[in-house]
Amino acid sequence: MSVATVLSEVRPSRVSRPGAKVASSAKQKHRKSKYRDAHFIRTVKSLADAGRLSALLPSIVCVCDWDSTTSVVDSKLLETCFSTDSLRATIQPGSPPRAIRTWDEHHRAPSSRAHRVAAPWRDTTSMVRAMCAHAALASCGEHHAMSVNLGKEFESQVLAKGSEAKRFLTNRIAYHLRTALRRRVEFWFVLELSEPPARRLHFHGEIACTATEAKRARKALRAAAGEWDPSARRHQVHTDPRPDVGQVSYAFKQEPLLVTERFLNLPRAESWRDDPFMITQGLKNNARKVYEALRRVVTLPGNGLRKIA
> What digits encode the pLDDT tens for the residues 157-172?
888 887 788 889 999 9
Report pLDDT for 8: 39
Instruction: Give the Cα separation of 290 and 227 in Å (integer).
Output: 37
> pLDDT for 170-213, tens place per residue?
999 999 999 999 999 999 999 888 766 667 888 999 999 999 99
pTM of the model: 0.80
pLDDT of residue 95: 45
* Distance between CA atoms of residues 55 and 216, nearest Å: 39
Closest-CA residue to 186 (of 276, 251, 283): 283
On the 0-12 / 13-18 / 19+ scale of CB atoms within 10 A, 114 is middle
pLDDT in tens, 126-152: 999 999 999 999 887 789 999 999 988
Q: Of the ranges 6-10, 42-46, 86-90, 226-230, which one carries the lowest mean pLDDT score?
A: 6-10
pLDDT at 80 over 50: yes
Determine the pLDDT at residue 71. 72
Average of per-residue pLDDT across 73-86: 81
pLDDT at 292: 93
The confidence score (pLDDT) of residue 279 equals 94
Q: How many CB atoms lie within 10 A of CB 219?
A: 13
Mean pLDDT, the chain, rounded, equals 78
- Which pLDDT value is given to residue 130? 94
**Percentage of the chain modeled with pLDDT above 90:** 30
- The per-residue pLDDT for 16 is 39
Query: For the ranges 105-109, 262-266, 268-272, which has the lowest average pLDDT?
Result: 262-266
